Chain A
């Protein structure tokens, strides 16, 4: 089970620890579940696995591409706004998710640990200090070695640079999953999840949230 959310930003809330009488501040990320609708299914017989297809990014009819429009109309009929993008959620209980209904935060009821998957902020072509946490050199006292990587190998043997050598290059803008974040609050009123700690990406970016697989397994 996973659900697409938008990262709204971070704040602090006060949460009571188990063995202390007073609440302490906890840094949380505010994640809003995007408007979505269940469009179609993947089934064992036809596709080899069971899943629901969830649509999001709603647009009026004239802005939707025709093949997508046909697919949505076949399943949901005429409506004011049509989803333009889709993702799949693997599950075996297809009956629980009728077509035309939406996923919301209620699927996280009773769950206290979640995984969050998103795309990190792009950092462009980054040097070794930012990308691999190299120490670099002294800034002053006549030092001419500031942010450089230093030696990258040995001598005539091996006479080449080892594969996988940490060097400068493109950093960020990659998919990262943060495991086992505490779910601090589920707010059905605004369809919002509060997750302890940070999640990948910038404000307004889209991230997937699922129950922690280490605790609840892949198909929970």
Chain B
């Protein structure tokens, strides 16, 4: 039963995603719809623009087509967390900025750390 559901999901999944792990710093290019409706002229103008969100993966949720990454960043001193569905067409692309050595799947402990204590050990590329 489950197998067939996975096969159906497969058709709607994206194949261009990089392998993402907790502790990665990602740049997510997320499309935003701008809908301008003119009630007088009855026109509807739909445009898309792209916003970039850079943050650390503190958790991966869901499975299959429902897989999501939870990103955390400090924006002008305010902590921001945002959840991105990975298979959504709103996702333009994902860049991996850096990877870090982490020991657990959910990095919720970062929420209680401030400043330097919230830093992760970055893995440098060999060579």
Binding site for B on A (CB under 8 A): 8-9, 11-14, 19-23, 25, 30, 32, 185, 187, 190, 192, 194, 203-204
Contact A11 B48 (CB under 8 A): no
Q: How far is the CA of A25 from the CA of B48 in the complex (A)?
A: 18
Q: Would you call B1 and A8 a contact (CB within 8 A)?
A: yes
In the assembled complex, the CB of B50 is this many whole angstroms from the nearest CB of chain A, namely 12
Q: A9-B2, A9-B5, A190-B8 are in contact. Are A19 and B66 (CB under 8 A)?
A: no
Contacts of B4 in A (CB 8 A): 8, 30, 32, 190, 192
CA distance A11 to B13 in the complex (A): 12
User: How many B residues have CB within 8 A of the partner chain?
Assistant: 23
Least Cβ distance of A105 to chain B in Å? 13
CB-defined contacts of B31 to chain A, threshold 8 Å: 22
Looking at the assembled complex, report how far the CB atom of B112 sits from the nearest CB atom of chain A, in whole angstroms.
31
Nearest A residue (CB) for B9: A11
Q: How far is the CA of A178 from the CA of B65 in the complex (A)?
A: 26
Apart from the given pairs A23-B89, A185-B8, 16 other A-B contacts in the complex at a CB distance below 8 Å? A8-B1, A9-B1, A9-B5, A11-B9, A12-B65, A12-B66, A14-B65, A14-B87, A19-B44, A20-B35, A21-B33, A22-B33, A32-B4, A190-B8, A192-B8, A204-B1
Residue from the list B7, B33, B66, B85 in contact with A20, Cβ < 8 A? B33
**What 7 A-B pairs come out closest when comparing CB atoms?**
A8-B1, A13-B12, A22-B89, A23-B89, A14-B12, A30-B5, A11-B5
Per-residue contact bits, chain B 64-92, to A (CB 8 Å; 1 contact, 0 not): 11100000000000000000010111100
Contacts of B64 in A (CB 8 A): 11
Taking the nearest CB of chain B, how far is it from the CB of A191, in angstroms? 10
Contact at A194–B46, with CB atoms within 8 Å?
A: no
On whether the beta carbons of B46 and A20 are closer than 8 Å, the reply is: yes
| Selected contact of A14 from candidates B1, B2, B7, B89, CB within 8 Å | B89
Q: Is the CB of B88 within 8 A of A25?
A: yes
Q: How far is the CB of B78 from chain A (nearest CB, A)?
A: 28
Produce 1/0 per residue, B86-103, CB < 8 A to A.
011110000000000000
Chain A to chain B contacts (Cβ below 8 Å), 21 pairs: A8-B2, A8-B4, A9-B1, A9-B5, A11-B5, A11-B8, A11-B65, A11-B66, A13-B8, A13-B12, A14-B12, A19-B44, A20-B33, A20-B35, A20-B46, A21-B33, A22-B48, A23-B88, A25-B85, A30-B4, A192-B4
